[in-house]
A = this chain, B = another copy of it.
Amino acid sequence: MSENARFERWVVLLAGGIGSRFWPASTPRRPKQFLPLASGRPLIVDTAERAMALADASRVLIVAGEHLRAHLEGHLPDFARDQLLLEPQAKGTAPALAWAASEVVARAERPEQAVMVSLNSDHVIRPQDRFVSTLERAIEAAGRSDRLLTIGVQPTRPETGYGYIEVGEPMTPDVFEVRRFVEKPDRDTAEGYLAQGSFLWNSGMFVWRPQVLLAELSAHTPELAGDLQRLSDGDIGGFFANVPTLTIDYGLMERSPNIAVVEAKFDWDDVGAWAALLRVRERDAEGNLLIGAAHAPECRDSLIWAEEGPVVAFGVSDLVIVRASGITFVAPRERALDLKRLLAGLPEELKLGGE
């Protein structure tokens, strides 16, 4: 870390999830980052701990919706109120990161020396030491250049829900040019990328100098460029009211020629669905993952999330069973990937949770 001490390091946690992927345990009122998916603590608490391994706690900013204030204050009591950047409207990651970058510029002692790390608050990452060493390399590279650094993860399956990064020439032993950035390819394309071997998954973790991000947005993101001045003027409400919904992936990473990538040397999982928990958590001898007061005699390869009272499953296989938010949910593992479609067909009040 001493080598990078000349950079003023800031970490931004993106905590704006909408809470449909782990329904009914996650709901708009309690998105996934507030669930204890990786350990006994909510994901966002794990993430904040990782952030504080990279930067001083006073230089951690958290971007989230206003409706999550109580959860954030409850779970993250070590942060001051002004470290919570509460979006007046959810407009996706591009506006959120633009605001965070402008806040870092405004708050930094030496803005030109500031490096900003952006972390999702709802991913599972282990072990911490290898996370830190990977991020140190990216901080070094971002601090010394005008590049947007992304953290790439070696793909292990033809996942169609992620972005893919085509890795180019090495810039240093640890940092590579990025040839292309492809968000959510179709299945055939993803299989091709996997076979080719020169693609990494986009982990959603980025490192850049905030002034570089703002300059890149001005240059490549016309959807926001005209409104960035509002941020420096402190007109946050006007900014969010004016800009369209836009992700940083589509809005900038696919467009900018100045991307570079550092390969993650740690295990990463975005736990994007109930079935993913069976991947990241240790299961019992029968392949079951039992959380809470769950009983599963003669069951196999099933996930039981028993948050509200006992759940007893008998003789089932490959099921996801959830009792949370006043709702009971049962689906085969592979169908639980399809939650968005299920929720679209359910009465509105069920999406919010029954209680």
Contact = CB atoms under 8 A, between A and B. Distances in A.
A306 B335 contact: no
A342 interface: yes
Contacts of A338: 314-315
A335 B315 contact: yes
A2 B162 CA distance: 80
A323 interface: yes
A346 B309 contact: no
Interface stretch (A95-103, A199-207, A326-334): A326-334
A345 interface: yes
Contact of A323 (B297, B298, B328): B328
B342 A309 contact: no
A312 B327 contact: yes
Contacts of A330: 311-314, 316, 319, 321, 330
A295 interface: yes
A354 B309 contact: yes
Interface residues of A, number: 32
A298 B315 CA distance: 22
A315 B331 contact: yes
Contact of A321 (B327, B328, B354): B328
Q: By CB atoms of chain B within 10 A, which of A309, A330, A332 has the most? A: A330
Nearest to A293: B354
Given A309-B354, A350-B310, A354-B310, A297 B328 contact: no
Given A295-B350, A345-B297, A346-B295, A314 B328 contact: no
A355 interface: yes
A316 B297 contact: no
A331 B313 CA distance: 6
A171 to B, nearest CB: 47
Interface in A241-298: 295, 297-298
Interface of A: 24, 295, 297-298, 306, 309-316, 319, 321, 323, 326-332, 335-336, 338, 342, 345-346, 350, 354-355
Given A309-B354, A330-B330, 17 more contacts: A24-B312, A295-B350, A297-B342, A309-B326, A309-B327, A309-B328, A310-B327, A311-B330, A312-B327, A312-B329, A312-B342, A312-B350, A313-B329, A313-B330, A314-B338, A315-B332, A321-B328
9 contacts: A24-B312, A297-B342, A309-B328, A310-B354, A311-B327, A315-B332, A316-B331, A319-B330, A328-B328
